[in-house]
Amino acid sequence: MGETHQRQYTRVKTCNLISYTCIDAQGTMINQGMGQALDISQNGLLLESGCPIESEYIALMSADPDDRLVNIVGKVAYTRRSRTGRYKIGIRFTGSHEENVRFATSLIKTFHYRRTKRAADTATGARAPGAE
């Protein structure tokens, strides 16, 4: 039987490094960490992390292709441990529609920019700084 998706917006596969801060309902920081955005839509993303997220809210931060910081606050929908032992965290953005779209667009553009740049560097034989 086919799986029914009840998503309002299409999810786009991505692979962006995300810095996060867990915050409680009063805005107090609980802890911080790093994770990887696995997919993103206009109203949320799927984050993978080595640690579970036990807060109600989470502030997310990443860098765009020009190394400017982009951020958004979201509400944690769920945290599930995968078979690999890592955690998958569903996050729903709590910003305005414009803020949500701006953050999602930035992550998607950054992912494609870096993927295209990496492919071009590989094709030309360029190496990362410090690589032997």
What is the spatial distance between Cα 127 and Cα 8, in angstroms, rounded to a whole number?
A: 41
Please identify which residue in the block is written with the tokens 């810095």.
19
What is the spatial distance between Cα 23 and Cα 29, in angstroms, rounded to a whole number?
A: 4
Q: Judging by DSSP bridges, how do beta strands 87-93 and 69-81 pair with one another?
A: antiparallel
Supply the pLDDT for residue 77: 96
Supply the pLDDT for residue 13: 93
Supply the pLDDT for residue 75: 96
Supply the pLDDT for residue 118: 67
Residues with Cβ within 8 Å of residue 57, at least 6 apart in sequence: 22, 23, 24, 25, 73, 74, 75, 76, 94
Mean per-residue pLDDT pooled into runs of 10, the chain (132 residues): 61 93 92 96 96 95 90 96 96 96 93 76 63 50
- What structural domains and CATH numbers belong to the chain? 12-121 (2.40.10.220)
